[in-house]
């Protein structure tokens, strides 16, 4: 059974009374930190993959951002196989 507008509102009011505003803000702050850490981990994983691919292609990844690495990888792959687009099977 799904909660509709009035039931959800009553539930939220009860939670605010029982948990107190300070507890609710602490929960919100914790969720915010969790999301930031998740995004940071996701970004680091992508960067590591790009660096690994760049090194395999003989590209020096030091001092380059993700976008620069991606462009150099695309250029290098296209130079190796100019007849086909990058990503074609």
Specify the pLDDT at position 71: 92
Q: Which regions in the chain score pLDDT beneath 70?
A: 1, 3, 84-89
Looking at residue 35, its pLDDT comes to 92
Question: Which residues contact residue 69 at a Cβ distance below 8 angstroms, ignoring those fewer than 6 apart?
Answer: 50, 51, 54, 59, 61
The answer to whether the beta carbons of residues 61 and 50 sit under 8 Å apart is yes
pLDDT of res. 28? 86
């Amino acid at each position: 059974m799904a909660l509709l507008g009035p039931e959800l509102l009553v539930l939220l009011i009860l939670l605010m009374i029982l948990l107190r505003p300070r507890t609710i803000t602490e929960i919100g702050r914790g969720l915010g930190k969790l999301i930031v850490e998740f995004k940071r981990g996701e970004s680091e994983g992508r960067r590591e993959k790009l660096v690994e691919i760049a090194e395999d292609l003989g590209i020096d990844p030091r001092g380059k951002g993700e976008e620069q690495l991606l462009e150099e990888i695309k250029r290098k792959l296209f130079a190796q196989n100019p007849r086909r687009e990058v990503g074609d099977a």
